[in-house]
Amino acid sequence: MDWELVDLNSDFDPGVHNSKQYEKSWHIPVSGNQILTTKEHPSLRPLTMQEWRWSGISSHKTHFLGMVRDDTPIFAEEIGIDLLEPDGYKLNPLWNFLTGTELPVFYLVGRAKQLVDWSRQHVFCGACGSKTLESTTDRSKKCPHCNIPFYPRISPSIIVLVTKGEELLLAKNANAQGNFYSTLAGFVEPGESIEETVHREVFEEVGIKIRKLRYFSSQSWPFPNSLMLGFHAEYLDGEIKIQEEEIADARWFHYKEMPNKPAMMSISGWLIDDYLKKLEG
């Protein structure tokens, strides 16, 4: 099957277990924070069955991800984190898939990466140390003694664009790579609603209060395992006072004098672009 002809939005059917044998398959080998691809194909994509076999790499564990067009399974392969690249193959950081391929492929590779991480991190029970067993009915592991289930970790987090008329509040994260300004973001705390998280994070990071919170969209974000919930909000009160541990700089920018912005492959870029279109329209 030619990968360029695959439309993952309609051709991919996610799944948990597969026991059948197929004549062809796709494979996403995960080595730490890197994904193995071939050097021959400039487009970042999974390996074919033949390419995976020719690599000569042994998989510590194989995870079924689902079916492509009902006839071709796709798997995530757990491979060593100290792997040396075989001839003709290349290890690509997950970040490369964010800008080097289409979003559905990025989401698929992110799914593979998160499942491999979950499997590696839950070989043993965190309560008693017993070796966990995989469920035969869903995507989980369970301790045979404590009976505690361990599901793949998903961390809900918010991301919000705060605006004041023709101005957008953007910040530079203290730990971010690159010189760009983005929207504010943070993780949901236990006992909080999503809306409470937005208000708290904005006040903690830049010292202002907001109003008219409006949900925008969401995005899976595998760095390492977030689900980003995006919002628009309007300025209500306060002066910018940054949380220096998290924020290097934060300012109001007029929409005609914008700084370097995040990539349009990310929900932060979508939020900014959505508001700019409203102002310019």
Looking at the fold, whether 42 and 132 belong to one and the same domain comes out as no
Per-residue pLDDT of 187-232, as tens digits, reads 999 999 999 999 999 999 999 999 999 999 999 999 989 999 999 9
Q: What pLDDT, on the 0 to 100 scale, is given for residue 42?
A: 61
Are 165 and 138 members of one domain?
A: no
Confidence class of residue 2 from pLDDT cuts 50, 70 and 90? confident
Same domain, 168 and 264: yes
Number of domains into which the chain is organized: 3
Domain shared by 112 and 32, yes or no: yes
Do 112 and 180 reside in the same domain of the chain?
no
Final residue belonging to a domain, choices 98, 119, 140 = 119
What is the CATH number for 171?
A: 3.90.79.10
Together in a domain, 173 and 273: yes
Do both 28 and 106 map to the same domain? yes
Would strands 26-31 and 72-78 be described as parallel, antiparallel, or unpaired?
parallel
Alpha-carbon gap, residue 180 to 246, rounded angstroms: 15
Q: What is the average per-residue pLDDT within 264-273?
A: 95
Shared domain check, 173 and 59: no
Same structural domain, 44 and 76: yes
CB-based burial label for 8 (10 Å; 0-12, 13-18, 19+): middle
pLDDT at residue 70 greater than cutoff 90:
no
Task: Evaluate if residue 15 carries a pLDDT over 70.
Answer: yes
Contact 236, 210 (CB under 8 A): yes
CATH number assigned to the domain comprising residue 40: 3.90.79
Which pLDDT score, from 0 to 100, does residue 251 have? 97
Both 140 and 169 in one domain: the answer is no
Q: Is the pLDDT of residue 88 over 90?
A: yes
pLDDT for 1: 67
Domain end residue (candidates: 70, 94, 119)? 119
Residues 112 and 9 grouped into a single domain: yes
Helices and strands (DSSP H and E) totals, the chain: 6, 16
Nearest to 82 by CA among 32, 16, 133, 119: 32
pLDDT digit string, tens, across residues 153-165: 999 999 999 999 9
**Encoding tokens for residue 73?**
């399974």
Section 11-27 average pLDDT: 91
Residues 133 and 177 in one domain: no
Structural domain ending residue among the three candidates 104, 130, 152: 152
Please report where in the chains the tokens 């070989």 appear, as a residue: 123
User: What CA–CA distance (Å, rounded) separates 278 from 180?
Assistant: 22
Structural domain that includes position 138: 122-152
- In this prediction, residue 51 has a pLDDT band, given cuts at 50, 70 and 90, of very high
